[in-house]
């Protein structure tokens, strides 16, 4: 049977999550959509629904482009029963995303950057700016009783990755990153590249990213990191 773009996304995401093998047969959800539920040792279940957000399944052959339509892409369920659904950003999400970013900056990044830098960043990531960025990049949000995370991508470049402080430590940032990495894999990219604040530097190291260089920007000291993709 000819594999679909959903199959490619499923296999890429399962591989990126680590120590996960996709099952051969899909099961049916209550609404008739196919799902696949590979398991891993730490009791995280990756439930992938097709068609996935951002995946074009309309043509045969290797996946070559990402479109803007789609619905649910991935859900992670941990032992604490917390659930995060990854979906494409909607313009109505702009207030929540802007608010999430501001809370991260003021409550977390403020430990590593002076107040003037934090204020400059908060002034930059307004609702209007978020809407503008969403027209320039693929933007995603994680939902779990509201928007709890966001990430953007342009090809194999990662931008604007934030997780709400109250949702930290639940694997949401990892799931967001693995989602966009899987999309990059099926587009043929062999690596991902991201900028990282001092605050987020360790997070990217834990995901397998390595330092390429560092730089001073208008938003303070920043690392550039890269990760090879399978």
Angstrom CA distances, 18 to 39, 53, 103, 130, stand at 11, 21, 30, 31
Full pLDDT tens readout for the chain, 230 residues: 334 555 566 666 666 655 443 333 333 333 433 333 332 322 233 333 333 444 433 333 333 232 222 223 343 333 333 468 899 999 999 999 999 999 999 999 999 999 999 999 999 999 999 999 999 999 999 999 899 999 999 999 999 999 999 999 889 999 999 999 999 999 999 999 999 999 999 999 999 999 999 988 888 899 999 999 98
Largest CA-CA distance found in the chain, in angstroms, rounded: 58
Question: How far apart are the C-alpha atoms of 8 and 13, rounded to whole Å?
Answer: 9
The separation between CA 218 and the C-alpha centre of its own chain, rounded to angstroms, equals: 25
Structure-token pair, residue 137: 């990049």
Q: How far apart are CA 9 and CA 183, in angstroms?
A: 7
What local confidence, expressed as pLDDT, does residue 124 receive? Answer: 95
Say how far apart CA 225 and CA 210 lie, in whole Å. 5
The whole-angstrom separation of Cα 66 and Cα 128 is 24
Question: Which residue, 152, 41, 37, is CA-closest to 94?
Answer: 152
Q: How far apart are CA 72 and CA 52, in angstroms?
A: 6
Residues in the chain: 230
C-alpha distance across the termini of the chain, in Å = 23
CATH number at residue 135: 3.40.630.30
Q: Number of structural domains, the chain?
A: 1
What is the pLDDT at residue 12?
64
Cis peptide before 51 (omega within 30 of 0): yes
Residue 180, phi-psi category: left (phi > 0), alpha (psi -120 to 50), beta (remainder): alpha
Compute the Cα dihedral for 203, 209, 215, 217 and give only its sign: negative
Predicted confidence at residue 102, as pLDDT, reads: 97
**Full domain range(s) for residue 27:** 5-228
Taking only Cα atoms into account, the Rg of the chain, rounded to an integer number of angstroms, comes to: 17
């Amino acid at each position: 049977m000819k594999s679909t773009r959903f199959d490619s996304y499923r296999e890429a995401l399962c591989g990126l999550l680590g120590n996960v093998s996709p099952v051969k047969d899909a099961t049916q959800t209550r609404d008739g959509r196919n799902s696949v539920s590979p398991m891993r040792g730490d009791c995280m279940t990756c439930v992938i629904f097709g068609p996935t957000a951002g995946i074009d399944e309309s043509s045969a052959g290797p996946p070559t482009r990402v479109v803007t339509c789609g619905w649910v892409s991935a859900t992670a369920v941990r032992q604490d029963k917390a659930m995060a659904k990854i979906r494409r950003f909607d313009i109505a999400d702009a207030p929540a995303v802007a608010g999430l970013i501001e809370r991260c900056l003021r409550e977390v990044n403020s430990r590593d950057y002076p107040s003037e830098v934090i204020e400059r960043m908060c002034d930059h990531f307004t609702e209007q700016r978020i809407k503008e960025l969403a027209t320039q990049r693929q933007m995603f949000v994680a939902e779990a009783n509201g928007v709890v995370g966001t990430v953007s991508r342009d090809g194999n470049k990662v931008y604007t990755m934030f997780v709400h402080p109250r949702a930290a430590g639940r694997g949401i940032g990892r799931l967001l990153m693995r989602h966009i990495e899987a999309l990059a894999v099926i587009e043929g990219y062999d690596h991902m590249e991201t900028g990282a604040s001092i605050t987020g530097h360790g997070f990217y190291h834990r995901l397998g990213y390595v330092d390429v260089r560092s730089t001073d920007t208008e938003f303070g000291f920043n690392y550039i990191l890269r990760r090879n993709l399978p």
